[in-house]
Structure 1
Amino acid sequence: MEQQMQISDTTRAAAGRLQIAAAMLEHPEWLPADAAANLGISELEVVQALPAEQQQFLPLEWLEALLQALPEWGKLTTIVTVAGQIFEFKGDFPKGKTAHGYFNLYSKGDGLHGHLKLENFSAIALISRPFRGTESHSINFFGPDGAIVFKVYLGRDQQRKLLPPQLALFADWRHRGEVTAKKGEI
């Protein structure tokens, strides 16, 4: 009986991913957030259903290391969405350190600041998906309910071209995630 329930759950999950994938193919202009809103599911569920070439999950154990690496990447775009409102910050991702139960982001002078409760994150996904017909890559941080906490997009130059050093860093993290996933560690 337990085996039948596991098979049934697996079948339902696969059917759900196929339904999400079909909706994304039917609406290529949709962002994962659009698909989540239209399908009544979490953004995490949408990202999990994206084709393998468009998403790579990283182990949560890498969260702090990734946050500590991002300040070295140069100018990025950090996006926070709250209650349908979108806040964008373009610039270097702030350095941070753990203290008082938070990973505290700080910048000298002006810039992005914040306090992240690392145990409240449920997933990290690297997403490579066109945005309005343009190549786009982002690091997505999810909360326990499958909603996005924030996203960090790779930066662009004056001609709106992605920055090659950032593309290389993104590809390196993605590759490390792929290797870890193949070992069954994600």
Structure 2
Amino acid sequence: MTESIDNIQRYLIENPDAMPSQIATMLNVTEWQVVSMLPQEQVTLLPLLEKDSLLASLPEWGPMTTIIAVSGSVFEFKGPFPKGKYAHGYYNLITKGDGLHGHLKLDNVSAIALISKPFRGNESHSINFFGDQGEMIFKVYLGRDRQRVLLADQVVRFKALKARVSSTA
């Protein structure tokens, strides 16, 4: 484990632009192990007790990009994060047939990380949901306009959330 920590720290220093998922694959570690080693200015952990209020607020943020990566395949959905409600042990994403929908087993979420890390030289912010084995369950990136510029109101919301969480930690 110590060797993994040293390898992650060294890789982060030598490759500051690498994304956590890439590093995890390169070093054969979990994405959570990488995220937990990011510099403090790049990652803030959201208390799990706040996951319901976070998920309830996301539909108000506007269009975002939700990413699910499974076995090397990456699924992306661009659009508003849907409203949801609890039923039958799941947080059910509610849509009228269009857009992202599904069923989230939130009991399996062990950590939520608010990550601010440049991607391909551009400002980037995401909300990352991790499972108890360190795996990424899904992540939600802030939306961008047609010129690929982050949506300013979302950046304000994200930074306010990070600041609030950091001040209570």
TM-score (structure 2 length as normaliser): 0.94
Q: What is the CA RMSD across the aligned residues, in angstroms?
A: 1.4
Question: Which of 127, 143, 151 matches 1:155?
Answer: 143
The structure-2 alpha-carbon separation of the partners of 1:145 and 1:77, relative to structure 1 and needing over 3 Å to count, comes to same
Where in structure 1 are there 5+ consecutive unaligned residues? Answer: 1-11, 182-186
| Structure 1 position 133, deviation (Å) | 0.8
Does residue 57 (structure 1) correspond to residue 13 (structure 2)? The answer is no
Question: Which of 19, 32, 42 matches 1:31?
Answer: 19
The structure-2 alpha-carbon separation of the partners of 1:44 and 1:90, relative to structure 1 and needing over 3 Å to count, comes to same
Where in structure 2 are there 5+ consecutive unaligned residues? Answer: none
Amino acid in structure 1 at the alignment position of 2:129: F
SS at the partner of 1:108?
Answer: coil
Q: How far apart, CA to CA, are the structure 2 residues paired with 1:156 and 1:178?
A: 25
| Structure 1 position 21, deviation (Å) | 2.3
* Stretch deviating more after TM superposition (28-37 or 127-136): 28-37
Which structure carries more helix by proportion? 1
Percent identical among aligned pairs is 56
Report the equivalent of 1:108. 96
| Structure 1 position 180, deviation (Å) | 2.4
Q: How far apart, CA to CA, are the structure 2 residues paired with 1:174 and 1:18?
A: 27
Report the equivalent of 1:128. 116
Which structure carries more strand by proportion? 2
Q: After superposition, where does 1:2-151 map in structure 2 within 5 Å?
A: 17-151=5-139
Deviations 1:101-156 (A, max 9, x none): 11000112311001011110010000000111111000000011111000100001
